[in-house]
């Protein structure tokens, strides 16, 4: 009689802080570079005048809002990449031998 044991994962799961760091840290740098390049060509006050002219806003607030919008966009891209790169062995059941 053959005894089948559950296969062990090829590597242990990573801690939450390491997973969050792998997503948020590179996206932080990408957002910083994107913000610098974008606002090198676009003035936040001119952008406000085109989109929400009645909204009171300073340049610093425009830079901050722009940075956080870029950070959300780049972190969602990093999260999607992390989801696609997870090992299939954690989610797929092993095939029966034979």
d(CA 53, CA 49): 4
Q: Is 21 a residue whose pLDDT tops 80? A: yes
CB 47 within 8 Å of CB 40? no
Please report, for the chain, the start and end positions of each structural domain, with discontinuous segments joined by +: 17-85
Q: Rounded mean pLDDT of 45-73?
A: 94
Band (pLDDT 50/70/90 cuts) for residue 85 is: confident
d(CA 90, CA 32): 34
Question: Which residues have C-beta within 8 Å of that of residue 79, sequence separation ≥ 6?
Answer: 23
pTM here is 0.75
Average pLDDT, the chain: 85
């Amino acid at each position: 009689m053959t005894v089948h044991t559950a296969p062990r994962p090829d590597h242990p799961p990573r801690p939450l802080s390491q997973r969050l760091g792998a997503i948020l840290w590179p996206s932080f740098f990408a957002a910083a570079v994107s913000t610098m390049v974008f606002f090198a060509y676009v003035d936040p006050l001119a952008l406000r005048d085109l989109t929400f002219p009645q909204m009171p806003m300073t340049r610093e607030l425009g830079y901050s809002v722009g940075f956080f919008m870029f950070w959300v966009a780049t972190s969602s891209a990093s999260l999607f990449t992390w989801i696609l790169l997870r090992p299939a062995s954690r989610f797929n059941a092993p095939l029966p031998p034979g």
